[in-house]
Amino acid sequence: MRHGKKVKKLGRKKAHRLALLRNLCRALFIFEKIETTLPKAKEARRLAEHLIEYAKKNTLAAKRFIYRFIPDHKLVKIVCDEIAPKFANRRGGYTRIYRLGPRLGDGAEMAILELTEKSEPEKIDQRRRLIEHRWLPEKEKKEEKPKKEKPKKEEKKTRKEKKQIAKKEKREKKDKKQKKGKKKR
């Protein structure tokens, strides 16, 4: 029996479902607004509100708990220092869901999940840049040195081209031997 085990499976195994919810919560904390299907939004809302509740405590244990779900130190710091203080006076309802209607491709009901207290757009953009792994501030500070141009080597030939060349050479040698044999007669 499944007493007290109320969880939407979302058509996924446990590990896949947990990874999906982690990614949705991560995106929610970075952009403060995400668009997804309604069942996914409802499940992500449960996890996000739970994490914000912990972040409001702002203790080391709370930060470690949040890190279990969002393994990114920068984002955990942002959740505890920027997002959670906005909800200090609230006792719940940190997120809201807007229904958008069916998706064109498959008819799945879409929804927007967003935080109720929002930041300025500049702050969100700055947060996104800080967290994205492709954009690192250290690389921007370093001066780009002009690369030395190396003399170009002969283009490497593929294995297939090498085989074709070897076959041609064999045929030429064979033809030469046959011609020499005919001349001797």
Of residues 68 and 167, the one with the higher pLDDT is: 68
CATH of residue 117? 3.90.1030.10
How far is residue 126's CA from residue 132's CA, in Å, rounded to a whole number? 10
Contact (Cβ atoms closer than 8 angstroms) between residue 32 and residue 119: yes
pLDDT band at 40 (very low <50, low <70, confident <90, very high): very high
Rg of the chain over all Cα atoms, to the nearest angstrom: 30
Residue 122 lies in a domain: yes
Those residues whose C-beta lies under 8 Å from the C-beta of residue 99, and which sit 6 or more positions away, are 38, 109, 110, 111
pLDDT of 112 above 50: yes
Reduce the DSSP state of residue 130 to 3 states and report it.
helix
- Residue 13 forms part of a structural domain: no
Expressed as residue numbers, the domain containing 125 is 34-130
Q: List, for residues 42-67, the tens digit of each pLDDT value.
A: 999 999 999 999 999 999 999 999 99
pLDDT digits 0-9 by tens, 5-36: 888 899 999 999 999 999 999 999 999 999 99
- Evaluate whether residue 2 is within a structural domain: no
According to the model, what pLDDT value does residue 19 have? Answer: 96
* Total domains in the fold of the chain: 1
Task: Answer yes or no: is 60 within a domain.
Answer: yes
pLDDT score of 127? 76
- The whole-number pLDDT of residue 135 equals 46
In a domain, 7, yes or no: no
Cβ neighbours of 131 (radius 10 Å): 15
Report the length, in residues, of the chain. 185
**165 in a domain, yes or no?**
no
Mean pLDDT of the residues in the chain: 86
Q: Which two tokens stand for residue 129?
A: 């840049």
Mean pLDDT within 59-78: 94
Q: Is 51 exposed, middle or buried (0-12, 13-18, 19+ CB in 10 A)?
A: buried
For residue 111, list its beta bridge partners. 36, 99
Q: How far apart are CA 60 and CA 77, in angstroms?
A: 11
Q: What is the percent of the chain with per-residue pLDDT over 90, rounded to a whole number? A: 55
Is 178 contained in some domain? Answer: no
| Residue at 172 is within a domain | no
- Reported pTM: 0.67
- Is the separation of the CB atoms in 9 and 42 below 8 Å? no
Q: 13-16 contacts: CB < 8 A, separation 24 or more?
A: none
